[in-house]
Amino acid sequence: MSLREYRRKRDFRATPEPAGDDTPRAEGWSYVIQKHAATRLHYDFRLELDGVLKSWAVPKGPTFDPSDKRLAVETEDHPIEYGGFEGVIPEGEYGGGTVLLWDRGTWEPRDDPRRGLLEGKLVFTLHGEKLRGGWALVRLRRGRDGRAKQREWLLVKEKDGASIRRAGQEVTMARPLSVDSGRDLEQIARDRDRTWTSARAERGVPRRASRREADAASVAGVRLTHPERVVFARSGQTKEDVARYYERIAPRILPHLEGRPLTLVRCPEGAGRECFFVKHAGAWAPRALRRVSIQEKTKRADYLTVDSVEGLVGLVQMNVLELHTWNARADDLERPDRIVFDLDPGPGVAWARVAAAAAILRERLERMGLASFVKTTGGKGAHVVVPLRPRAGWAECLEFSRAVSEGLEREQPDAFLTAMAKAKRPGRILIDYARNHRGSTSVSAFSTRSRPTAPVSMPVSWDELPALAGGGAVVLADVERRLRDRGEDPWAGYEAVRQSLTAARLKKAQGL
């Protein structure tokens, strides 16, 4: 497949679009949709095949409604590098207008895709950040004038778990922002002087700094792009506000993070919109983060740890809103240094009952000679955390937490449960001890949560726990004021605790 037609239409001395690289490359299956405000707004649908992006212009954009078949006009092949392009094509150039990277991911053909293109029916599955499930491109045999229409296709959503009969907003209206930069078309257009480089390759054209680039914030030595973008819609905090929070709170949060493998929650469009978990390190990860190789069940994989304020702010730059950590540190991975009990209230459970349950659990642990600390989750519940000297293994820690949790369930079956079944949740508190499996995580103390009100998982004293309004009551704007007003660290003494999970304690828990 050739890029001759693509290159013929463009003057690469004037346009920031990539010219493309003819070097043979390994076969890939990337997929991308670019929202393109040219003469008419449309969506460019692209599938990687044989070293190029096969492309269709979809005037109305994609829809999850299988009954709504969208016209898709086949256009020239584009270079693979185009899949990372976002910016402004100058007026007067071919396709002049603003281009926004609306979705990206991979695609999976059901049958031979080359035969499908030739015969006029291409059936595939999308694994994108916005679009998922089964889809088909079907070539129209005849147009309204009765003539053959070789370049006109229909983009159709298959009926499956991802399809939705038309109701409410279209996905293109409900989720208009870029999956790469979090911007909308107007924000990109205002930044006309900036050439956004592809994550896959340099474009081969001069890059000029823009006013927005010059105004980008620097936080803890990290360049923060789009610092003005609102991340928490209801409370109004911006990306820079979040970065400044982590810069100031670093002395408090880093002791809970240092050396622990991370699972992250990235939210390219901000809190309250679609977010996704990231467990493994990738090319996107800031250089300030440390990579740790960990043996999983069937393979080794690289995880990330954050040990510095630069790493914290670097994660904010990458739209990370939640930090979840293992119960062990990378230098002693098979011996946890804490146990976490997650108290998750079901429907109809008041916060006072959650606080009372945490106190009961604390008392139970004290009877076994174990000190514990408590924090809000930033959601509905609370975490009771037991610091340990790293001596027992994962199996022992999991068995201990299971025995303690099931003991409380046996004593008060109307108040507690340990099974996840939703039907049994109303009116009871789930004690989730599965946080203590190897590889499981819990949200870090002082981490923000990806909810519109900007809640934080906040360490609190046992005395103040009942007075809170709920597990999400402490929000980002409150954290530093609370610490300042109270003067004393609510978890004072946590690092000084010297206690271990011994065989005697495990046996006692099993006998409760």
If phi > 0 it is left, if psi is from -120 to 50 it is alpha, else beta; for residue 355 that is alpha
- What are the tens digits of pLDDT across the range 183-216? 889 888 887 654 444 433 444 433 333 434 434 6
Measured distance CA(53)–CA(85) in Å, rounded:
13
Q: What is the pLDDT of residue 26?
A: 64
- What are the tens digits of pLDDT across the range 316-333? 999 999 999 999 999 999
- What are the tens digits of pLDDT across the range 20-36? 887 766 667 899 999 99
Average pLDDT, the chain: 90
| Residue 133 · residue 163 · CB < 8 Å | yes
Residue 435 has pLDDT above 90, yes or no: yes
- What are the tens digits of pLDDT across the range 39-77? 889 999 999 999 999 999 999 999 999 999 999 999 999
- What are the tens digits of pLDDT across the range 283-320? 778 889 999 999 998 889 999 999 999 999 999 999 99
Q: Label residues 228-237 b or e (16+ Cβ within 10 Å = b).
A: ebebbeebeb
CATH number of this structure's domain 332-511: 3.90.920.10
Measured distance CA(69)–CA(23) in Å, rounded:
37
Tokens of 262: 């991370």
Measured distance CA(498)–CA(233) in Å, rounded:
43
Q: Scanning the structure block, which residue is given the tokens 């809103």?
A: 321
**Percent helix, strand and coil across the chain, each to the nearest 5:** 25, 25, 50
Q: Scanning the structure block, which residue is given the tokens 């050739």?
A: 2
* CA quadruple 49, 74, 81, 186: dihedral, nearest 10: -140
| Rounded average pLDDT over 493-505 | 96
Q: What is the pLDDT of residue 213?
A: 42
The correct answer on CATH 3.90.920.10 for the domain covering 216-325 is yes
3-state secondary structure string across 355-377 = HHHHHHHHHHHHCCCCCCEEEEC
Q: What is the pLDDT of residue 225?
A: 85
Residue 263 has pLDDT above 90, yes or no: yes
pTM given for the model: 0.63
Q: How many CB atoms lie within 10 A of CB 373?
A: 22
Residues paired with residue 125 on neighbouring β-strands, in sequence order: 108, 134
In the chain, residues under CATH classification 3.90.920.10 are 216-325, 332-511
| Rounded average pLDDT over 8-12 | 93
Tokens of 110: 């059901």
| Rounded average pLDDT over 165-179 | 79
Alpha-helical segments (H) within 157-306:
171-174, 185-190, 211-214, 239-257
**CA 139, 142, 144, 147 torsion: positive or negative?**
positive
Q: Label residues 282-305 b or e (16+ Cβ within 10 Å = b).
A: eeebbebbbebebeeeeeeeebbb
